[in-house]
Structure 1
Amino acid sequence: MLKLVDLSRTDLNLLVLFEVVLDERHVGRAADRLKLSPSAVSHGLGRLRRLLNDPLFLKTPKGVVPTARAVELSAPIAELLARVRSVISTAEPFDPASSARRFTIGAPDGVSAVFLPPLLDELRRTAPSIDLGVRQLLPVPGETSPERAWRNAFTDLEDRAMDIAVVPSDHIPARFHSRGLYEEDFVVAMRAGHPFAVDPTPERYCEMQHLVVSLTGDPHGFVDEALAKQGYSRRVALTVPNFMFALAAIAETDLISALPRRFVAIHAAHFGVVTVEAPLPLPRFRLNAVAPKVAMMDTGLAWLFGILGKGAAVRIEAG
């Protein structure tokens, strides 16, 4: 016969402690976030381990790592806490003006550089005590399938490693809520006075030395796929790990690079970089904000999701 658990003897705050330790992977940081002492967090973990009959978190030189059981429990605990928060929020509505919550948004760096300025401006005006963390998202190395390239972002959302992801993909699993923020295409960026700007033909494009943004250093990208379809190839002379580094590099060299149009429009002037239209068709991407549907029951998260979309729309209209 199934043994019923006496919830009256169970401190549900332990589940919140579990969530924060899982997110931070560090007892000290979890203690700071919970406004507890490290010893109180350690004591709570001891109670939680006895309750769930598993070590849950194992010590490492850099913090703690979850056990297989903790990973297995992460999704149902996150769902349970989201439902509890939703119930509580109906009694005490989320107020951005007084809230001191912290949210984490994940996005590729060329994307966060577009939506972050208007979002920060909106937070400054309407929610001055809310803090943000921004994580850089990267596609799975070597993965060419759009359905699977951003699968790690969906896993991190369900693991509560972040609250919202912004990904350049329309392949969103049904268990997630999504909203289109804007569409992005690519232009060719270079230093002011670069000779390519005078005659930007496909042939001259292929004669240039190119820079590609690639965290892994892999020089092959979607531009090479587009070139190959028309019988062209190019030389990639340099790869760099992010888009800001790309702007700094092309500003001081004869390298050229295909970069996101909206990102360049916002930041190119700071580097003295100019752009021309690509001399061949390049892919367009829709940027979608994504969060688990169950997490959207959290009125605070739903509010942030809404102003994220509003801020992106304002930025695009202004641009």
Structure 2
Amino acid sequence: MSLPDLNLLVTLDVLLAECSVAGAARRLRLSPSAMSRALARLRETTGDPLLVRAGRGLVPTPRAVALREQVHLLVQSGEAVLRPANQLKLAQLSRTFTLRTSDGFVENFGPALLARIGKEAPGVRLHFVQKSDKDSAPLRDGLVDLETGVVGKGAAPELRLQALFRDRFIGVVRAGHPLVEGELTPARYAAGRHIGITRRGLDKGPVDQALLPLGLARDVVTLVGGFATALALVRASDLVASVPERHTGSLRTGLHSFALPFDMPEITVSMLWHPRLDADPAHRWLRGCVREACAADAPATQSV
């Protein structure tokens, strides 16, 4: 049995990226006729047309779409194997990393992270983008280099992840709020006017689930999409917010924070990345920087 021509993987990777015989030929520095012959060989090898005419251009077949990411990863892995193992020179590194983070991460961990990166690799720039959902597509598609957050059930199984720290929900009110004085019971907490924090428009969350066995329910009078917005409302009203402690440390300055008067499970905040970047020296260094920035002791809470 003859082995397939593995050079065709590189050709297929470029063809699927360009969806153009002429464009792929230019990238690989081949003539259009040579690229057409390579496409014919790929069609014969795979038993699929791969690219078909649609108006003046070409579109991928369902089989080609299914193969696109797998082929790209194979080519990248092959290039990594054959590439000389150069030592990473941070002082000369020039690169932009895109980090997808939840509300509060940049405010609390960004300064320490940026200070270290500026000292070790001044040519590196971080691009923080807001995490509006738990979709893994930005990591898979290479639009994001690293993501932080609580790993949900819908996370892509191929993603790499590493725990950064554990966090817990706490309550926050303005200084002088009525809840500051006297014993704080679950019933007294639930009777306050609360802010719901949700990216998906849900009016029930983990705090509500923890109150349910006690026969209690919060009076949620408004919903917001992030911690910073919730705490801004708390600062100027008698509303109550329940937020993760470490994610909101700097945002809670001047506010009164307190332990919730009922049991709630802790959450684990992790960083996630695609396996294509697992062995990349610069990305490995970035992951170490993020780990160390998050390794500071959790801020103490003030109990009522």
Shorter chain as normaliser: what TM range? 0.7 to 0.9
- Residue 204 of structure 1: aligned partner: 188
Instruction: Say yes or no: does 1:88 pair with 2:91.
Output: no
The question of whether the paired residues in 1 share the 8 Å contact of 2:13 and 2:68 is answered with: no
One of 51, 54, 65 as aligned partner of 1:54: 51
The amino acid of 2:247's aligned partner reads F
Question: When the two structures are superposed, what TM-score results if normalisation uses the length of structure 1?
Answer: 0.71
Q: Which residue of 2 aligns with 1:185?
A: 168
- Corresponding residue SS for 1:302: helix
**Residue 74 of structure 1: which of 52, 69, 75 is its match?**
69
SS of 2:257's equivalent in the other structure is: strand
Determine the structure 2 residue equivalent to 1:158.
140
Letter in 2 for 1:116: G
> 1:304 is matched by which residue type in structure 2?
L
Pairs within 5 Å for 1:105-124: 105-124=99-118
Note the C-alpha offset of 1:118: 1.7
Q: Flag the 1:208–1:54 CA change in 2: closer, same or farther, 3 A.
A: same
Q: Does the 8 Å contact 1:75/1:158 carry over to 2? A: no
- Find the partner of 2:260 among 273, 278, 300: 278
Other structure's SS at 2:242 match: strand
Partner amino acid for 2:95? R
**SS of structure 2 residue aligned to 1:182:** strand
Distance in 2, Cα, partners of 1:221 & 1:104: 29
Asked if the contact 1:79–1:294 (Cα under 8 Å) also holds between the matched residues in 2, the reply is no
Give the distance between the partners of 2:60 and 2:138, measured in 1 at CA: 14
Report the Cα distance in structure 2 between the residues aligned to 1:279 and 1:289, rounded to whole angstroms.
30
CA distance in 2, matches of 1:89, 1:246: 50
Secondary structure of 1:316's match? coil
Q: CA deviation at 1:83?
A: 4.4
Q: Which amino acid aligns with 2:76?
A: L
Shift of 1:207: 1.2
Corresponding residue to 2:246 among 262, 266, 273? 262
1:7-46 Cα shifts (integer Å, max 9, x gaps): 49x789958x94xx9xxxxxxxxxxxxxxxxxx99x759x
Residue identity (%): 24
Counterpart of 2:277 in structure 1 is: 295
Sort the Cα spacing of 1:82 and 1:6 in 2 relative to 1 into closer, same or farther, 3 A.
closer
- Displacement of 1:167 after TM fit? 2.6
Q: Distance in 1 between matches of 2:61 and 2:289?
A: 36
Specify every segment of 5 or more residues in structure 1 that has no aligned partner in the other structure, as ranges: 22-39, 59-64, 140-149
Distance in 2 between the 1:184 and 1:250 partners?
A: 21
Q: Which residue of the partner structure matches residue 126 of structure 1?
A: 120
**Distance across 2 between alignment mates of 1:237 and 1:86:** 57
Q: What one-letter code is carried by the residue in structure 2 that aligns with 1:125? A: K
Normalising by structure 2, report the TM-score.
Answer: 0.75
**Deviation at residue 89 of structure 1 after TM alignment:** 5.3
Q: What is the count of residue pairs matched by the alignment? A: 276
Tell me, yes or no, if the aligned pair for 2:13 and 2:72 is still in contact at 8 Å.
no
CA offset at residue 157 of structure 1? Answer: 2.3
Note closer, same or farther for the CA distance 1:311–1:87 as it changes in structure 2 (3 Å cut): farther
Shifted more, 288-297 versus 206-215: the winner is 288-297
Aligned to 2:46: none
Letter in 1 for 2:179: F
Q: For 1:56-80, what per-residue CA distance to the aligned partner results, in whole angstroms no more than 9, with x for missing partners?
A: 9x9xxxxxx9986456412431342
In the alignment, the residues of structure 2 paired with residue 127 and residue 12 of structure 1 have an alpha-carbon distance, to the nearest angstrom, of: 36
The alpha-carbon deviation at position 301 of structure 1 amounts to 1.2
Partner of residue 297, structure 2: 316
Structure number with bigger Rg: 2
Q: Is it true that 1:242 corresponds to 2:226 in the alignment?
A: yes
RMSD in angstroms over aligned alpha carbons? 3.9
